[in-house]
Amino acid sequence: MRTSTMWWAATGLAATLMLTACSGSSGGPGDSGAQQAVQVGDTWSGGTTTVRLWNDNTGIEPAVDLFNQEFAEQGIQIEFTEKTDLNTAVRNAHQAGNGPDLFVSQSADLASFISEGVASDLSRYYGSISGDYSDIANSAVTTGDRQWAVPLATIPTFMLYNAAVFEKNDIEYPTTYEEFIDDGKKLKEQGVSVYNLAGEDPTTLIYLAWQAGARWYTLKDGTWHIDVDSPQSRRAAQLIDDGLDAGIFAKISYAEYAAMMQAYDEGTIASRQLSTWQTRGMQTNLDKSLGDWEPAPNLKWEGGADGNASFTRVLTVESKSADTDAAVFAAHWLSTAPDALNALADPVDGLAYYPATGDASSYSAATEPGELLGSHASTWDTVVGTAAQQQLGDWTYGPNWAGAFSYLQDLWGKAVAGQIETVEIAPALQSWIVKDLKSQGVSVTED
């Protein structure tokens, strides 16, 4: 648990707590006050060193191998270790003083790693590399005028439908969330669930609320404004409740991944809202339905604009690393070198990651899961490329998001299980966030 001393050390400046997808700084990337700028080059001249990299998936290894081949003669290498419970492993290792130099994380977790003192401030390096990444990616690692990680992959969100199921039942793909619920009711009559809600994963609610216009945390003049219980959040929750009440959702946990994949394969769950990296598991685990899945644009709210909400994957340098220069150099190469990006984008041997670089459109094809899509593959490039262009970026993860997310998971699990209504989540979560921030002495108000 975070101690009071650690909390106050991390919150001496309110701005350093904010991880937001839209920086409020008047300075540009890398504007970090008295810190001396460091240029991150294309070659390594820092002597013999090894960067210890942790991730929870071995699909990063092909890119690591390419790095090691490229820089063997220059004296820098990456040593990769797989950690299944990555965030917990990193936190435990940080406390013990034996953590990695570099680890893969995501923007939703980065705020907590900052406040806990686990993430290094990389602002002095960032001025020389910010131009290599998209605006969404740059802002995802920026808090105030500081940068706390190196972007690795963005997560453009779109829909994936079992075309055979929709065609068999003479149902067209929906374009709005409201139509999605209606289609779900039609599919239910045929014994098919339109979607799966895992009881431990409340990101569906977060992204629906975000896309509807909700903004749960906002930092203004040193005060955290909390607005979880908003009309937009209630709209998202009500839509989910409508689907739950109609019985159109499956409720398979990711702990039962094999059963989930079997349901997709047998056509008893007809769609997913997902990104490129999630298709990798489907292509690997499905059999009967390979070739039946068709990508389509993300759903939007009736009367709303196109868009999709999602997190950003990042490479975070552990604050106790003995060689931050080497860790940043490795992170920058892994996230920008064409060979590395192709390896990471590969849906078979890699991770099917969509790059966080400024113009990643040429890599859409590299992420294509051909076996999964079959004859529907021709639309992949357009759907994914458009989704990347329509990503939303104005979301803030507050300083106590790790605890808030844990509480949200508990509430979400109860809603999926029918113990509470989904519309009860927002007021309860807002109350928890405000009470927790006040208990830490943080300036907070409710909008």
DSSP string, 118-141: -B---HHHHTTTGGGB-HHHHHHT
Residues whose CB falls within 8 Å of the CB of residue 113, separated by 6 or more in sequence, listed in order: 90, 105, 119, 148, 316
Residues 210 and 113 reside in one and the same domain? no
Angle at 86 (CA atoms; ends 352, 146), nearest 5 degrees: 80
Q: Does 388 reside within a domain?
A: no
Residues 284 and 399 reside in one and the same domain? yes
Q: Which domain holds residue 295?
A: 158-309+395-446
Residues 299 and 245 reside in one and the same domain? yes
Q: Is 40 helix (H, G, I), strand (E, B) or coil?
A: coil
Q: Which residues of the chain have pLDDT under 70?
A: 1-35
Cα dihedral 412/416/422/424 (nearest 10): -60
Burial of 14 (0-12, 13-18, 19+ CB in 10 A): middle
Residues 130 and 163 reside in one and the same domain? no
Residues 81 and 163 reside in one and the same domain? no
Task: Name the domain count of the chain.
Answer: 2
Q: Measure the CA–CA gap between 147 and 131, rounded to whole angstroms.
A: 13
In sequence order, which ranges of 251-320 are alpha helices (DSSP H)?
257-266, 276-285
Beta pairing, strands 158-162 & 293-296? antiparallel
Q: What is the pLDDT of residue 368?
A: 96
Residues 40 and 120 reside in one and the same domain? yes
Q: Does 384 reside within a domain?
A: no
Q: Does 403 reside within a domain?
A: yes
Q: What is the pLDDT of residue 7?
A: 30
Number of C-beta neighbours around residue 365 at 10 A: 14
Q: Does 106 reside within a domain?
A: yes
Residues 215 and 233 reside in one and the same domain? yes
Residues 305 and 436 reside in one and the same domain? yes
Q: What is the pLDDT of residue 395?
A: 87
Q: What is the pLDDT of residue 399?
A: 85
Q: Does 381 reside within a domain?
A: no
Q: Does 149 reside within a domain?
A: yes
Residues 149 and 194 reside in one and the same domain? no
Residues 318 and 297 reside in one and the same domain? no
Residues 264 and 178 reside in one and the same domain? yes
Name the pTM for this structure.
Answer: 0.88
Residues 179 and 94 reside in one and the same domain? no
Q: What is the pLDDT of residue 165?
A: 98
DSSP 134-181: -HHHHHHTEETTEE-SEEEEE---EEEEEHHHHHHTT-PPPSBHHHHH
CA-based torsion, 304, 206, 175, 187: positive or negative: negative
Q: Measure the CA–CA gap between 346 and 325, rounded to whole angstroms.
A: 28
Q: What is the pLDDT of residue 359?
A: 87
Q: How far, CA to CA in Å, does 75 sit from each of 42, 102, 103, 236, 359?
A: 14, 18, 21, 52, 31
CB 51 within 8 A of CB 78: yes
Listed residue (317, 250, 253, 310) closest to 277, CA to CA: 310
CATH code, 209 = 3.40.190.10
Beta pairing, strands 158-162 & 19-20? unpaired
Q: Does 330 reside within a domain?
A: yes
Residues whose CB falls within 8 Å of the CB of residue 34, separated by 6 or more in sequence, listed in order: none
Q: What is the pLDDT of residue 267?
A: 98
> Which two three-digit tokens encode residue 296?
């389509």
Q: Does 372 reside within a domain?
A: no
Q: Is 226 helix (H, G, I), strand (E, B) or coil?
A: strand
Beta strands of 59-99 (E only): which ranges? 76-82
